[in-house]
Structure 1
Amino acid sequence: MTVAAGRVPGLGHALALARGPMRFIQGLRAQGDVVTFYLGTTPIHQINSPELIRRVLVTDAHRFGRGQIFAKARQLFGDGLATADEPAHMRQRRIMQPAFHRDRMAAYVDIMRSEMREFVDSWRPGHVVRLDREISQLTLAVTAKALFRADLGTAAVSEVCRSLGPILNGVTKRAMVPDVYERIPTPGNRRFDAGLRRLTTIVDEVIKAYRESGTDHGDLLSMLVASEMTDTEVRTQVMNILMAGTDTTAITLSWAFHELAADPAVRHKVFEEVDTVLGGRPVTAADIPRLLYVERVVAETVRMHTPVWLLMRKAISPVTLGDVTLAPGAQVMISMPALHRDPALFTDPLRFDPDRWLDPRASEWPKAGVLVPFGAGRHRCIGEAFALAEMITALVTVCQNWELLPVPGHRVREVARAFLRPNALLMTVQRR
C-alpha cells in the first residue's frame, strides 16, 4: 500500500489538504494507482487509475456505497436521490426520471431562455458585473421554474440563494472533520445551521402550497406530491436537487465565460456559429444539436473545470483495487478534476482547447473512465442533459448580444469550497 508522504501524527495529512486541496490531491496521482492519505487517523484511499475508477463507479459498483460526504449530507438533507444508497436510490430515480426525459427538454429550454433574457436585459454597456454571483441566482431561478413551475416568488428564490452557499460549504467541511466540530458554535457553524433552517422552511412552504392547490403543474414537484411520498420525503428530494444541481451548473458556466473572455479566438468562433445557426432569432431545443462548437466549448469547460472536486465511496464488502485490499467500511475517493487534468491522459491538459473534442478517441473517454464529470454507472447525474442544455442556452443567449471582457488587473483564482469555483469573476459587459 502506497501512503502519501508528509503524514503528521494525530492529524494525518489534514494540514497539507487544508493548505492546498487540489495541489495535494493532484500530487497524489503520480504516486500510484491507489494512494492512501489520512484525515486524522482515518485512511482515505485515492483512486487514480481510470480502469480502477470505472470499477468503483460501474463494474464493481455493487461493492460500494456512498462515501463520507454523502453520509454527512444524508444526516442533514435526508435520504434523497443525491445521497441515497441502493435500493432506495433506484426507486427514487424511477419516480423522478420522467421529469428529465428528452421530450420535456423543449419546454425547459424555453424557460431557460426566458430567464436568461431577463437576466442579460438588466445589463448596461460598460458596466462591471460580478458574474459568478449573478449566474448563481440565474441557475437557481431556472431550476425553480423549470422543475418546480409554481412561482416560488422573488423573495423565496433570493432566500434560497442566500442559504444554499453556507450549507454546501458546510457539508464538505463537516465531512472532513470529527463530528464534535458541528457542536462548536463557530461563525461558520452558526451560518450553516441558520441557513439550513431557512431553506427547510422555504421548501416546506412550497410543498404545502402545492398540496393545498391540488393542481398538477406538469413538473417534478407535482409528480412527487402526487406520489406516495410524505411531505418530509418530498422535502428531502427537493433539497437534494437544490444541493446537487444548482451550484455546479452556475460554477461551470462562470468558468466558461472566463475562458471565452481570456481567448478572443475562441470567443469569436462562438459568435460566428451563433450568428450562422440562429440568424438573430432566439435559441430553441431543436437548435442545440446544431451548435457544435458551442457544445465543444461546454465540454471542454466541464473537463477542465469540473466543479465536483471529490467523489467518495465506502466499501461494503471486501474488494481488491490494484495492490490494496479494502475491508468493509474503507473510504475511497476519486478526484475528477485531478483525473481530467492528468497530462498522461490529456495533451496539455491546462490549455483550454475546444477542438480537442474532435479527437476520434473522445467518444470513448467516458467508457474508459478517463472522463467522468457527471459520475458514472447507477449514480450518474440524472440531470446531466438538463445541465448541458442550460449551459448551451445561456452561452448562446448572452453571446447573441453581449461580449464579456475581463477587468484589467483582476486575477481569477480557483478555490476549493463545496465545489471548485472562481474566487470572484468580475466582467465588463459590452454590446457586440
Structure 2
Amino acid sequence: MDLIEATSHRPPDVPGAWPLLGHLVPVLRRPLEFLPAVAGFGDVVKVRFGRLPVYVVTHPDTVRAVLVPGDLDYTRGRIFDKLEPALGRGIATVSGAEHRRQRRNLQPVFTRERLAGYAGIMRAVAEETTASWRDGQTLAMDEVMNDLALAALTRSLFRLTAHQDTAEAIKRGMRLLTRGLLLRTVLPTAWERVPTPGNLRFRRAMARMHRAVGDLVAAYRDSGRDRGDVLSALLAIREEDGTGLSDEEVHAQVMTLALTGIEAPGAALGWVLHEIGRDPEVAGRVHAEIDTVLGGRAPGFDDLPALEYLGRVVSEVLRLRTPLVFMRRTLTEVRVGRSVIPAHAEVVYSPYLLHHDARWFPDPLRFDPDRWLPGNVERIPKGAYVPFAAGAYQCIGKLFAVTELTLVTAVVCARWRLRPAGHAPVRELATALVRPHRLPMTVHARTARG
C-alpha cells in the first residue's frame, strides 16, 4: 500500500448529531459556540446539515489547502448556490474559467485612481452623516453606520441621481438576503418554496430590488455618459473581441457589489466605533494618531498608510467580528492534510472559527489591536486570518472595504468621541455576518485636540 494511502483517513464525525436533523440545531441556535468547538475534533471534520454531509476544515494548513488551489480542485459551494438566484451569475457566484474572466474584467473598477475617487465619496458621506449629530445625542450606531455604508456604496456605484426608492429597495433586499442566508444554506432547498411569511417577504423584496437595479442599468445605457462611477466602469468594459458586458452581467455585478458593500461594512463600522468607544486607551491612541497625521484637515486616500494604529484597530475588528462560514465543493476526491474528502462534497471553512482559535490568537475574545504589530503578525500562520478569503476567490473589493472602514472612522473620530450608552454588553447576532443586535452610542463633540 502507498504510504500516502496508509496515512490518509476519512474525517471524523463531530458528535452530537440529532436523528434526521444532524447538527442543524446547534448550527442555527448557537453557531458562535458550535463552530469554534468543532476544531477540537480534528483538522478536517464531518458535520451534517440534515442528511447532507459537510466537511469542515479547521486548521490554517487545511484551509490553505482548500483555498489556495482555488478553482483547480474546487468550485463554489452550497452557500453560493443559494446566492445565485438573488445575485445572478456575477463574480460572487461563478466558478472556474468564468470567474477568472469576470475577475479580469472587473480589475479596472478597482484601480488605485478609482479607489481614490471612491474614498472622496466615502469621506463626503461620512461628513454629511456626522454634520447632523448633536453633542450628547444617543444614536443607534448600528443603523447609522448601515445607512452610511448604503449611501457611500450607492454614490460610488451610480452618480446618476437615483430615486430614494432605489436605495431603499437595495437596502431592504440585501438585509433580508444576508440575514436569512445561513438558514437557507443549512435547510433543504424545498423549504424555500414553502409560502411562509418570511419566504413571501423575501421574494417580494428580491423582485423589487431587481426592478430598481434593472431600471438604473437601462438609464445608464440610454445616457451613454461616463460618470466616473462603478456602473459607468462596468458599462465601459470590453472583452477581447470588443464586445461589452450584457445587461444581465452588469446587473449581476451591481447586485454582488451591493451585497458586499452594505451589510458587511455597515456592521463592521459599528463594531469599530464600539470597540474604540468602550476602551479609553484605544480611543486615546486613535484620537492622538488622527490629530497628529491629519492636523485638523479631512482625511484622504493617501493618508491611510500613516494611520497605522487605526489600521490595526480595523484588522482586529475584522478578526473578532467576521463572516461566519463560506463553502466550496470538491470537483474530484481530494486529500486535505491527512484526510480524504470525496468528490462533489460540500466543504466549509469558517473565518469565525479560525479567528477565535486560541492556538493562533491567544485570548481570542480580547480586543487587542497590537496583535497586528509587525513582530506579532509574523507569528500568525498563513490561513489563520481570512476575513476576505484567499486564493483564486479572494474578495476583489478587499481594498475598497478596508479603505471605507479606515477613512469613515477617521472622519468620525476627528470630530467626535463616542461612548456606549448604558452598561449592558452588546449582543452578537450571528447570520451570514456577526452583527451587533443593538448598538446605542452617545456622541460628544471633541474640543480641539481633545
- The reply to whether TM is greater than 0.5 is yes
SS at match of 1:202: helix
Q: 1:90 Cα deviation (Å)?
A: 1.0
Q: Cα gap change, 1:315/1:3 in structure 2, threshold over 3 Å: closer, same or farther?
A: same
Counterpart position of 1:99: 109
Residue-by-residue CA offset, 1:250-282 (whole Å, 9 max, x unaligned): 111111111111111000110001111111110
Q: Which sections of structure 1, spanning at least 5 residues, go unmatched?
A: none
Distance 1:93 1:261 in 2: 38
Identity of aligned residues (%): 39
Distance 1:76 1:355 in 2: 39
SS at match of 2:367: coil
The answer as to 2:182 corresponding to 1:172 is: yes
The answer as to 2:307 corresponding to 1:291 is: yes
Distance 1:428 1:185 in 2: 42
SS at match of 2:154: helix
Question: Once structures 1 and 2 are overlaid, which stretch shifts more, 237-246 or 377-386?
Answer: 237-246
Residue-by-residue CA offset, 1:193-251 (whole Å, 9 max, x unaligned): 11101110110111011011111112321232244222122111111111123211111
Counterpart position of 1:282: 298
The answer as to 2:334 corresponding to 1:319 is: yes
Task: State how 1:280-429 maps to structure 2 within 5 Å.
Answer: 280-306=296-322, 308-362=323-377, 365=380, 368-429=382-443
Question: What's the Cα RMSD here?
Answer: 1.5
Contact 2:70–2:393 (CA<8 Å) still a contact in 1?
A: no
The answer as to 2:29 corresponding to 1:23 is: no
Task: State how 1:46-57 maps to structure 2 within 5 Å.
Answer: 46-57=56-67
Residue-by-residue CA offset, 1:384-422 (whole Å, 9 max, x unaligned): 111111111111100111111111144311111121111
Contact 1:410–1:426 (CA<8 Å) still a contact in 2?
A: no
Distance 1:364 1:145 in 2: 40
Counterpart position of 1:252: 268
Contact 1:170–1:189 (CA<8 Å) still a contact in 2?
A: no
Instruction: Tell me the amino acid that sits aligned with residue 159 of structure 1.
Output: A
Q: Cα gap change, 1:202/1:212 in structure 2, threshold over 3 Å: closer, same or farther?
A: same
Q: Cα gap change, 1:49/1:12 in structure 2, threshold over 3 Å: closer, same or farther?
A: same
Instruction: Tell me the amino acid that sits aligned with residue 29 of structure 2.
Output: R
Counterpart position of 1:230: 246
Report the count of equivalent residues.
Answer: 430
Task: State how 1:26-175 maps to structure 2 within 5 Å.
Answer: 26-59=36-69, 61-175=71-185
Contact 1:130–1:427 (CA<8 Å) still a contact in 2?
A: yes
SS at match of 1:254: helix
The answer as to 2:201 corresponding to 1:191 is: yes
Distance 1:346 1:149 in 2: 42
Instruction: Tell me the amino acid that sits aligned with residue 316 of structure 2.
Output: E
> TM-score, normalization: structure 1?
0.96
Distance 1:364 1:151 in 2: 48
Q: 1:57 Cα deviation (Å)?
A: 0.4
Residue-by-residue CA offset, 1:265-305 (whole Å, 9 max, x unaligned): 00011000111111111001111111111111111111111
Distance 2:335 2:386 in 1: 22
Instruction: Tell me the amino acid that sits aligned with residue 135 of structure 1.
Output: M
Q: 1:151 Cα deviation (Å)?
A: 2.7
Q: 1:190 Cα deviation (Å)?
A: 1.4
Residue-by-residue CA offset, 1:120-172 (whole Å, 9 max, x unaligned): 11111112111111111111111111232323243322332222211222333
Question: Once structures 1 and 2 are overlaid, which stretch shifts more, 344-353 or 316-325?
Answer: 316-325
Q: 1:332 Cα deviation (Å)?
A: 0.5
Instruction: Tell me the amino acid that sits aligned with residue 397 of structure 2.
Output: G
Distance 1:33 1:130 in 2: 40
SS at match of 2:329: strand
Contact 1:170–1:188 (CA<8 Å) still a contact in 2?
A: no
Contact 1:82–1:244 (CA<8 Å) still a contact in 2?
A: no
Q: 1:60 Cα deviation (Å)?
A: 5.7
> TM-score, normalization: structure 2?
0.92
Distance 2:33 2:71 in 1: 28
The answer as to 2:223 corresponding to 1:213 is: yes
Distance 1:179 1:413 in 2: 30
Distance 2:59 2:177 in 1: 32
Distance 1:158 1:333 in 2: 32
Q: Which sections of structure 2, spanning at least 5 residues, go unmatched?
A: 1-10, 238-243
Distance 1:23 1:171 in 2: 19
SS at match of 2:130: helix
Instruction: Tell me the amino acid that sits aligned with residue 346 of structure 1.
Output: F
Distance 1:261 1:109 in 2: 24
Instruction: Tell me the amino acid that sits aligned with residue 316 of structure 1.
Output: L
SS at match of 1:129: strand
The answer as to 2:445 corresponding to 1:431 is: yes
Distance 1:213 1:336 in 2: 42
Instruction: Tell me the amino acid that sits aligned with residue 50 of structure 1.
Output: P
